[in-house]
């Protein structure tokens, strides 16, 4: 975890990886709640980043996300993780409806030399808070998901990464054809910079087709 001294907030690689993986966990939960992938009653309210956040109570999803976070943290400490994508698909057709793209830029000097950086924890929390607010407000412009949906997580890593036991290499990146894209805020721990972008299926094409 990020170590706090009396006057300076020093961020280490491990601390930054923990912050980013924790952020992803909360972001995934927030997306699953806001996009109604799982019912509202399966979520519990907690306080995080100065906001009321919703975490799933489903043990399966909880364990999935915790395992995911552990692996992401490991890859982040090794500097091998490039992107994490949370994909929402239709359960019936398997069509990809939304892609929540979290791209990560790593400071290789920190990974190679093990130096630390300085940034206020409050500043980082503020930046994450802004992203969480944007995720919550995304329902205003994202198309309604009328059908039952499932989610999946893809990790874009370096080619020399050993594939863990519970992971497999996928040739299908689950892309959306002609998506609409909305770029959200980003946050930076001075070691890892996370850019958020949501791409969704263009609803207007369906309406035009229907017409």
Taking the complex as a whole, how short is the minimal distance between the CB of residue 166 and other proteins, in angstroms? 5
Cα–Cα distance for residue pair 203/195, rounded to 1 Å = 24
Q: Which two tokens stand for residue 101?
A: 């793209």
List interacting residues with other proteins (CB under 8 A): 60-61, 63-64, 67-68, 71, 82-83, 85, 99, 101, 103, 150, 152-159, 161, 163, 166-176, 179, 181, 183, 197, 199
Taking the complex as a whole, how short is the minimal distance between the CB of residue 162 and other proteins, in angstroms? 10
- Closer to other proteins by Cβ: residue 35 or 99: 99
- Closer to other proteins by Cβ: residue 168 or 207: 168
Taking the complex as a whole, how short is the minimal distance between the CB of residue 10 and other proteins, in angstroms? 31
User: Across the beta sheet with 3-4, what order do the strands follow?
Assistant: 3-4, 9-11, 117-118
Q: Which two tokens stand for residue 76?
A: 């982040």
Which residues are CB-neighbours of 110 under 8 A, at least 6 positions away? 13, 16, 116, 117, 191
Cα–Cα distance for residue pair 58/106, rounded to 1 Å = 32
Taking the complex as a whole, how short is the minimal distance between the CB of residue 12 and other proteins, in angstroms? 26
């Amino acid at each position: 975890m990020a170590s706090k001294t009396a006057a300076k907030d020093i961020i280490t690689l491990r601390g930054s990886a923990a912050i980013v993986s924790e952020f992803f966990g909360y972001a995934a939960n927030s997306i699953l709640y806001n996009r109604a992938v799982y019912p509202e009653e399966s979520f519990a309210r907690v306080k995080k980043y100065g906001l009321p956040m919703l975490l799933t109570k489903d043990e399966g999803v909880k364990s999935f996300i915790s395992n995911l976070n552990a692996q992401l943290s490991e890859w982040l400490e090794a500097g091998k993780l490039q992107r994490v994508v949370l994909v929402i698909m239709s359960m019936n057709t398997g069509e990809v409806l939304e892609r929540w793209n979290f791209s990560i830029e790593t400071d290789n000097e920190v990974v190679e030399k093990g130096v630390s950086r300085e940034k206020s924890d409050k500043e980082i929390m503020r930046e994450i808070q802004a992203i969480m607010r944007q995720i919550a407000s995304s329902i205003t412009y994202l198309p309604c998901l009328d059908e039952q949906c499932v989610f999946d997580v893809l990790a874009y890593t370096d080619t020399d990464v050993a594939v863990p036991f519970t992971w497999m290499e996928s040739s299908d990146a689950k892309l959306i054809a002609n998506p609409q894209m909305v770029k959200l805020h980003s946050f930076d721990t001075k070691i890892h910079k996370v850019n958020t972008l949501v791409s969704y299926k263009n609803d207007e094409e369906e309406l035009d087709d229907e017409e």
